Amino acid sequence: MKGDTSQAIKASDRLSRDKEMQLKRIWSTDAFQLFADGQKERILDTDFYTYLGVTVRTEKHDFQGQLKTVADAISDAARIFKSLLTTRLEQQLVPCA
């Protein structure tokens, strides 16, 4: 039964290609690098637009859609990371029989 659970976790712990591309794009932005370096006060509005993958001319509904796409990608990545971390911790804490 444990094998079945392990397989289910592996299957659900993958990002879609679109979400993976969104995260790679985000990680390569100046805004992300500045934030990661603890320099969030240096992030400009243009950096933030690039982080979101939009421009000042992006239509309202397109902007909202892209914002949701970015939020979903980050949410899924956080969920997957937490799941993988929990699984690895459980494997280390449970003695082998």
What total number of domains does the chain contain? Answer: 1
Spatial distance between the Cα atoms of 48 and 37, rounded to a whole number of angstroms? 15
Residue 1: its pLDDT value, please? 43
In a domain, 11, yes or no: no
Using 70 as the pLDDT threshold, list the residues of the chain that sit under it. Answer: 1-12, 94-97
Contacts for 16-22: CB closer than 8 Å, 24+ residues apart: 16/76, 18/69, 18/73, 19/72, 19/73, 19/76, 19/77, 22/53, 22/69, 22/70, 22/73
Residue 7: its pLDDT value, please? 47
In a domain, 58, yes or no: yes
In a domain, 54, yes or no: yes
In a domain, 56, yes or no: yes
